[in-house]
């Protein structure tokens, strides 16, 4: 018997249905595959029904009987309605398999004949539902899919709960969704089978909201608008989609500083209780919605004398959630504030802003409200807004500065000084700093339609070029126009030639030409008296010389470090600090490189320089990776990639470094996917420089994954690319040792030796000690391939010691691993203990798995490291929170530190550890650390 199914989607995971829910979907799908049940829960609009449908389509194949019900609020008073939905189609198939009393009671309940009730036929009905499920399960497994459990009629809910608690080993699974707030799902969980997994759907991140809107066709929204959609929706996918639709249909975008337009559908959803408020309480809430950080004191100062009573009334209605520890007034959901503001008449909004323009204590907030309370141009208002923008800039809030700058331009008279377009350009530059490149480009393009002053036009062209990021080939037509606008002014020409230097590097892939263009830019800037551009050009020249192994690099860095300095250049990702960091890193000065980049990252964050923060976080991850701190590098690289995806800046570079970190300390399959993603980004951008880095990461991941042939193919291409680019410093990508090792593995030791010889010549010239050590490790493998085992062993022992002294922990461990492997070819006992210890210290999980595999194949018998299952396997049976806590214990974190990292209480940490001990069959934290090496929490 096959029951007609309600879900017609193919039985597979539909990515469009689970955007931002991939890990959750996999966890629920695995629970179903193990024979368990799943209860999805979360607030309205969070995507429960979407995930439910996707899971049912993926898991409810024809080999199962799928029963479905979907309750609604308007029908929740009808008894047995859900039961009829579930069993209506199969009643004829199972009725003759039920005892007479049970059959009569069930038929009466489903058909409405006989006026069956729980009071009269309670036991018979309960047993009938249980028997019906068992009868269906005797034919094939049963999947019961129920959406919106909160609206289930009470009779059906009682009967299903009774059966669910008594199914035992009967192959009946429940896949349910219920609307809840907080922990309200407990009641529904108690009515589910004992093995039910409760899965809460949390709000989406900004990047996930962006991906969702992109998928639905809302692709032209600026990132600043996307940020507002995420803030206003609170990460709720339904709310975000409705806001995106309203923006797409609204020909007039909101003014800077104003909340987003809220569609009628959402207003009705969140403001249904607004009519219960008094008029005065509603006005008080409007003032709160107009303020950035409303407090009771602020509301009093704005003229709302009865703010306490009025906010208390709103809190009782669920509109406000007053903070328990402080005077802040917080809306229960950001959408309530936006909807309340959108619902108010324009004159009432302006009145609220006018009150706040004098009541707010912060000058930025006063200026913003003054602008929103004023119509038309007003020089005084414009001046106050410009001052507030400068203050926001100094505070490290460039996004706020950009918004205030655009408001200042709006209120500046056409003949004002500074002119409106000058203020717009400043706002565009602030937007660039904040990572809002779409907004910056749009503002600059608008200015270019009317600007006639060469300095203004060059400034606008700079923004357009900067907004292109790595895709400089897309703005090729800009450069001739910018050169024409610059005329013979050396100051303006320097600005254009600095961008041309970057184009020669990224698009043409010519390091030598880029270096010469940078040197020419520095000369032009010095003649024009533009110290900032001169320093940026010298920094670029120094970085280029460092990467290409030019002997002048140290001297150029010294020139760039001479006074006078510029604070902006000092902490910019293309400034002198970054150039010095690259030189330190490539010169094996890891501690100094780490301290340098840590200070730069701190300053970039303080200033709100988003693009610099993305790159500096990646640089720090690279430093930690070279030092052998794979867990730390993995955390940093993932955060850098998240920030890159969120801002749309440095995606290729961040994916490349994340790939290297995953291959060393995380998941090799993810490393391969990220490396290919990085290569795709570089190819799309026409970025030759990062294409070679991405392919080097791919080759490394392939080597770790055991695909030596693939690694050789990728790294041979890197060799060709870098030869064409003119890159001779092997410390730049450090791929040569991997290529030589892969060549040995595929039986090409001759080509491997050639790679080693050519690379060693450059490494000796530049004094790259760590590269020389890695090359010696690869040469030992070549010698072993030729049968000279004694020389290979001696070389590897020396290499391990040299790498340890240089602080390259992971490379040291790889040398120890190669040494252990080589010793297995000689008679006598061998051990992989040392390699395992070093990889464990580095948290290099993929390499530890290789050690386990090699030890298992050791003819002398498995080494102790393989005597127990790797922690990666041991932790698989733990829940997500349990895995995170266990991984942090392995890193040495205390319970209090774990609580702070995971935003949970110390008591929760202790309870979670107790469950971990029980599941793993261990007794203490020490036993966790003794596992093969643990698994770093993802």
When the pLDDT of each residue in the chain is averaged and rounded to a whole number, the result is 84
Burial of 58 (0-12, 13-18, 19+ CB in 10 A): buried
Q: What pLDDT, on the 0 to 100 scale, is given for residue 522?
A: 96
Distance (Å, whole) CA 390 – CA 345 = 32
Check pLDDT > 60 for residue 596.
Answer: yes
Q: What pLDDT, on the 0 to 100 scale, is given for residue 742?
A: 95
Of 6-15, 517-526, 563-572, the one with minimum mean pLDDT is 6-15
pTM for this predicted structure: 0.68
Check pLDDT > 50 for residue 819.
Answer: yes
Q: What pLDDT, on the 0 to 100 scale, is given for residue 867?
A: 34
Check pLDDT > 50 for residue 13.
Answer: no
Check pLDDT > 50 for residue 308.
Answer: yes
Residue 828: pLDDT band with limits 50, 70, 90 = very low
Q: At a CB cut-off of 8 Å and minimum separation 6, what does 659 contact?
A: 670, 671, 672, 674, 675, 678, 694, 697, 698, 700, 701
Q: What pLDDT, on the 0 to 100 scale, is given for residue 881?
A: 67
Check pLDDT > 50 for residue 168.
Answer: yes
Q: What pLDDT, on the 0 to 100 scale, is given for residue 340?
A: 86
Residue 10: pLDDT band with limits 50, 70, 90 = very low
Distance (Å, whole) CA 353 – CA 726 = 59
Residue range 840-855, pLDDT digits in tens: 999 999 998 888 888 8
Q: What pLDDT, on the 0 to 100 scale, is given for residue 508?
A: 84
Q: For every residue of 781-803, which 3-state class applies, written as one string?
A: HHHHHCCCHHHHHHHHHHHHHHH
Q: What pLDDT, on the 0 to 100 scale, is given for residue 107?
A: 82
Is the separation of the CB atoms in 863 and 831 below 8 Å? yes
Torsion on CA atoms 685, 690, 693, 699, rounded to nearest 10: 10
Tokens of 788: 């000279």
Q: Among all chains, which residue has been given the structure tokens 């910056």?
A: 440
Q: Among all chains, which residue has been given the structure tokens 């609204």?
A: 250
- 271-285, 599-613, 875-889 — most confident range: 599-613
Average pLDDT (396-425) is 92
Burial of 247 (0-12, 13-18, 19+ CB in 10 A): buried
Tokens of 879: 């829940």
Average pLDDT (603-608) is 88
């Amino acid at each position: 018997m096959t029951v007609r199914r309600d879900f017609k989607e193919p039985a597979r995971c539909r990515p469009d249905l689970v955007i931002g829910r991939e890990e959750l979907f996999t966890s629920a799908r695995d629970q179903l595959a193990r024979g368990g049940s799943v209860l999805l829960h979360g607030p309205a609009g969070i995507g429960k029904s979407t995930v439910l449908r996707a899971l049912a389509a993926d898991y409810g194949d024809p080999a199962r009987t799928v029963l479905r019900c979907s309750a609604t609020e308007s029908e929740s008073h009808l008894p047995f309605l859900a039961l009829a939905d579930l069993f209506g189609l199969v009643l004829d198939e199972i009725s003759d398999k039920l005892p007479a009393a049970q059959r009569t009671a069930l038929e009466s309940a489903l058909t409405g004949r006989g006026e069956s009730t729980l009071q009269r036929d309670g036991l018979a009905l309960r047993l009938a539902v249980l028997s019906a499920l068992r009868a269906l399960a005797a034919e094939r497994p049963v999947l019961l899919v129920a959406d919106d459990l909160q609206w289930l009629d009470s009779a059906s809910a009682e009967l299903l709960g009774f059966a669910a608690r008594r199914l035992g080993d009967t192959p009946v699974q429940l896949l349910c969704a219920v609307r809840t707030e907080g922990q309200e799902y407990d009641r529904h969980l108690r009515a589910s089978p004992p093995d039910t997994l409760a899965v809460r759907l949390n709000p989406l991140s900004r990047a996930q909201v962006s991906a969702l809107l992109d998928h639905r066709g809302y692709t032209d929204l600026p990132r600043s608008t996307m940020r507002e959609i995420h803030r206003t929706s609170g990460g709720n996918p339904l709310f975000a989609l409705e806001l995106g639709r309203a923006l797409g249909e609204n020909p007039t975008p909101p003014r800077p500083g104003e909340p987003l337009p809220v569609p009628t559908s959402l207003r009705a959803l969140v403001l249904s209780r607004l009519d219960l408020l008094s008029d005065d309480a509603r006005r008080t809430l409007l003032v709160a919605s107009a303020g950035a950080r409303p407090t009771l004191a602020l509301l009093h100062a704005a003229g709302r004398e009865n703010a306490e009573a009025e906010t208390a009334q709103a809190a009782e209605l669920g509109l406000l959630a007053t903070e328990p520890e402080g005077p802040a007034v917080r809306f229960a959901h950001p959408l309530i504030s936006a909807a309340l503001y959108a619902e108010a008449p324009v004159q009432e909004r302006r009145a609220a802003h006018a009150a706040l323009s004098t009541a707010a204590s912060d000058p930025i907030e006063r200026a913003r409200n003054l602008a929103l309370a004023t119509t038309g141009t007003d020089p005084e208002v414009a001046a106050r807004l410009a001052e507030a923008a400068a203050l926001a800039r100094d505070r490290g809030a460039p996004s706020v500065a950009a918004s205030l700058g655009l408001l200042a331009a709006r209120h500046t008279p056409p003949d004002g000084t500074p002119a409106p377009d000058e203020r717009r350009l400043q706002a565009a530059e602030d937007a660039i700093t904040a990572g809002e490149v779409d907004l910056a480009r749009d503002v600059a393009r608008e200015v270019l339609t009317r600007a006639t002053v060469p300095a203004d036009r060059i400034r606008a062209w700079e923004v357009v070029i900067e907004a292109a990021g790595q895709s400089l080939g897309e703005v090729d037509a800009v450069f001739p126009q910018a050169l024409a606008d610059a005329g013979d002014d050396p100051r303006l020409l320097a600005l254009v030639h600095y961008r041309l230097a970057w184009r020669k590097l990224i698009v043409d892939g010519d390091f030598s030409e880029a270096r010469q263009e940078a040197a020419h830019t520095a000369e032009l800037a010095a003649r024009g008296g533009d110290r900032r551009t001169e320093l940026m050009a010298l920094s670029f020249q120094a970085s280029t010389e460092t990467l290409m192994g030019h002997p002048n690099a140290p001297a150029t860095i010294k020139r760039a470090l001479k006074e006078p300095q510029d604070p902006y250049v000092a902490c910019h990702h293309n400034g002198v600090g970054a150039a010095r960091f690259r030189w330190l890193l490539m010169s094996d000065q890891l501690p100094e490189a780490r301290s340098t980049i840590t200070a730069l990252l701190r300053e970039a964050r303080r200033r709100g320089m988003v693009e610099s923060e993305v790159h500096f976080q990646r640089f720090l991850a690279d430093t930690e990776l070279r030092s052998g701190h794979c867990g730390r590098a993995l955390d940093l690289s993932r955060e850098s990639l998240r920030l890159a995806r969120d801002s749309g800046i440095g995606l290729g570079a961040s994916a490349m470094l994340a790939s290297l970190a995953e291959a060393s300390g995380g998941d090799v399959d993810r490393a391969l996917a990220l490396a290919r993603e990085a290569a795709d980004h570089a190819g799309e951008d026409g970025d030759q420089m990062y294409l070679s880095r991405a392919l080097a990461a791919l080759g490394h991941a392939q080597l770790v994954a055991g695909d030596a042939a693939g690694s050789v193919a990728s790294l041979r291409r890197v060799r060709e690319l870098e030869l064409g680019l003119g890159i001779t410093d092997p410390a730049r990508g450090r791929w040569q040792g991997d290529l030589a090792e892969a060549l040995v593995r595929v039986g090409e030791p001759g080509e491997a030796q050639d790679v080693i010889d050519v690379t060693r010549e450059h490494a000796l010239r530049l004094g790259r000690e760590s590269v020389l050590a890695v090359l010696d490790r690869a040469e030992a493998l070549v010698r072993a391939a030729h049968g000279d085992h004694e020389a290979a062993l001696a070389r590897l022992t020396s290499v391990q010691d040299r790498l340890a002294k240089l602080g390259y922990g992971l490379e040291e461990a790889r040398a120890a691993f190669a040494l252990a492997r080589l010793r297995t070819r000689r008679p006598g006992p061998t051990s992989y203990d040392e390699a395992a210890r070093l990889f464990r210290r580095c948290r290099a999980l993929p390499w530890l798995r290789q050690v386990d595999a090699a030890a298992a194949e050791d003819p002398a018998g498995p080494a102790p490291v393989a005597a127990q299952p790797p922690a990666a396997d041991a932790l698989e049976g733990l829940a997500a929170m349990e895995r995170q806590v266990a991984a942090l214990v392995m890193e040495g974190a205390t319970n209090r530190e774990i609580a702070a990292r995971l935003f949970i209480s110390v008591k929760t940490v202790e309870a979670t550890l107790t469950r971990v001990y029980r599941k793993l069959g261990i007794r203490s934290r020490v036993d966790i650390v003794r596992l093969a090496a643990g698994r770093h929490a993802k």
